[in-house]
Each structure stands twice: as structure tokens, then as C-alpha cells.
Amino acid sequence: MKSEWKVTSNIINGEKMYAVYRILDTSELDHSGNREHYGEFTPDREAAVRLAAKLNREDKKKLCPRCGEAKEEFAVTWGWAQCFDCSVELRKKEGEGRGKEC
């Protein structure tokens, strides 16, 4: 499971620079091979913080609020509230108690 996007810093040529990253597998230790970086280093910490927050908001739109799993790409693109499996399950429940007209 991936972590939320975070801000990291490094001293580069004597200047503190910031970048946005997340852990690829939260069950593993944090090391360079277990990180995904987004964008370039910047001297502007606030810009990096805003970018991390934006990426985290976008990621939340990709999660099914019902089961917590990632929604399929088509479900995100089409603006579905839930993943496919939860949508099917909810449709079945909506159909219960209806007449057999359809």
C-alpha cells in the first residue's frame, strides 16, 4: 500500500531544496528504492506542501469510499462514486423489493 504524498528536503549546492514523494510499500522500510517522487526539487517549501496536498486530494477521489479499495480507471474517469464491485452490489440492493417490471 502506498503512503500519502509528503515533502522531503535535501541540501543541494548549499541550498535547502524540497521535493514531493510517497512510500511505495508502507510495509517496507523507507529507502530510496521504496519511494516515488513527483516533479522536480524546488527551493519553495510552500509550493511543495501545496503540491503534496493536491496530490493527496486527487488520490482520495480514486478510492472507493465504501470499501477503501482503488476505483478502476474507468470509474474515476466517468465520475463514479464507488468502485465497480460496490456499484454492482448497490444496484442489486436497489433492485430488491421492486416489482418484476424490468
Distance between CA atoms of 66 and 87, rounded to whole angstroms?
10
0.85 exceeded by the pTM? no
pLDDT for res 8: 97
Q: Above 80 in pLDDT, residue 98? A: no
pLDDT for res 102: 44
Q: 82 lies in which domain range?
A: 64-102
pLDDT tens digit sequence for 28-69? 999 999 999 999 999 999 999 999 999 999 888 888 888 888
Residues 54 and 102 in one domain: no
Please state the domain count of the chain: 2
Residues 57 and 73 in one domain: no
Distance between CA atoms of 52 and 4, rounded to whole angstroms?
8
Residues 38 and 74 in one domain: no
Residues 74 and 55 in one domain: no
pLDDT for res 95: 73
Distance between CA atoms of 79 and 9, rounded to whole angstroms?
35
Q: CB–CB of 51/59 below 8 Å?
A: no
